[in-house]
Amino acid sequence: MAHYDPKDRMKRHVRAFIYLSTSLGKESQVADALWQMEEVKEVHIIPGQHDIVAVVDVPRHFLEPDPQSIYWFMLDRIKGIPDIVNTDTLIPILSMSKWSN
């Protein structure tokens, strides 16, 4: 079973799943703005409590906890997008994916 970094190297990036709620009818505009960011690897418009889930891969800063790297990305980049009403962020401890090589 392959893990996020199967070679056990020090992580250079932090992966997170960001759930976003938008103003009514603004899902596509927010999704487009997210997609323009280099750190955003996937964007999905979804039904339910949240409108969008974005998968991000943010550079990890040496001696900085992983949640802190995501926090700065959220403040610097995500919070500036108009029509985002709320966010929830999940930072996985261990990831397994059939998409990864």
Q: What is the pLDDT of residues 27-44, one digit of tens each?
A: 999 999 999 999 999 999
Exposure string of 29-45, with b = 16+ CB inside 10 Å and e = fewer, is: ebbebbeebebbeebee
CATH topology of domain 13-90: Alpha-Beta Plaits (3.30.70)
At 90, is the secondary structure helix, strand, or coil?
A: strand
Cβ neighbours, 10 Å, residue 77: 17
Residue 94: the pLDDT is: 81
Residue 11: the pLDDT is: 65
Residue 65: the pLDDT is: 85
Residue 2 has pLDDT above 50, yes or no: no
Residue 10: the pLDDT is: 54
Question: Model confidence over 45-90: pLDDT tens digits?
Answer: 999 999 999 999 998 877 788 888 899 999 999 989 999 999 999 9
**What is the torsional sign of CA 95, 97, 99, 101?**
positive
The residue ranges of DSSP E strands in 1-101, in sequence order, are 13-22, 40-45, 52-59, 84-90
Residue 3: the pLDDT is: 46
Domain ranges for the chain, please list them.
13-90
Tokens of 50: 């949240």
CA 24, CA 20: separation in Å to the nearest integer? 12
